[in-house]
Amino acid sequence: MLGESESATTKAVGAVFPTILGGMLGKTQDSGAMGQIFDLLKDKANDGSILNNVGSLLGGSSKEPINALGGKFLSSIFGDKLSSIAGVLSNFAGIKNSSASSLLSMAGPLIMGVLGDRIRKGGLNLGGLTNLLVSQKDSIISAAPQALAGVLGLGNLKNLGTNLVSGAANAGKKGSSWLWPLLILLAVIIGLWLLLRGCGTTEPAAAVDSLK
């Protein structure tokens, strides 16, 4: 559907989730920015239904509530650097900038759905969300394109969240092991959907249903 090769699409889809999460991790030291992100995650339009209908992100209107919310979410994380983030993803996977932008637009609402669901079910406040992100730091930075550090103004991705209160990472580990496997599953589903849609089929629908 993106007009990219199978290998490039797979590589890009595998990098887009940690790229966005890395951006969020970079905001964890800014309480104002994190507060804005937290409010977006709690928005009534982010009701988790997107996780049961991943295919709706493909070709969905940007005016649809969850897609519009996803755009605000990405802007809150990356601001005027969003086009540069698309460039990082493009260079990393060898895809067009337009394809990278499309993937970011698809992944944003999915991450919102996952985190919003966790906030509701776990009763998380802003501190709890921050701890959850910090607990996944090692996985995020190992999967994200290293060029992300430059766009975020860092010398190394390991510097993400380094000034947070000591113990925050350990505080977030309890009950957070589900996050990374679920995001990997979503990445696999999007990858399959894109590849099979490019072949004129819609077979991944059954896989998407498994998220319900």
pLDDT tens, N- to C-terminus, the chain (212 residues): 567 888 898 899 889 999 999 999 999 888 899 999 999 999 999 998 888 877 677 655 556 788 899 999 999 999 999 999 999 999 999 999 999 999 999 899 999 999 999 999 999 999 999 888 888 888 888 889 999 999 998 888 888 866 554 444 454 445 456 666 777 777 776 766 666 555 444 444 444 444 44
Residue 157 neighbours by CB under 8 Å, 6+ apart: 22, 141, 144, 146, 148, 149
pLDDT (0 to 100) of residue 185: 72
pLDDT of residue 21: 93
167/1 Cα distance (integer angstroms): 44
CB-CB contact of 169 with 212 (8 Å):
no
pLDDT value of residue 156: 85
Q: How many residues does the chain have?
A: 212
pLDDT at 41: 97
pLDDT computed for residue 16 by the predictor: 93
C-alpha to C-alpha distance for 189 and 194, rounded to whole angstroms: 9
CB 205 within 8 Å of CB 55? yes
Which pLDDT score, from 0 to 100, does residue 88 have? 97
> Per the structure block, which two tokens stand in for 122?
């776990």
Asked whether 129 and 119 are in contact (CB, 8 A), the reply is yes
The pLDDT of residue 195: 60
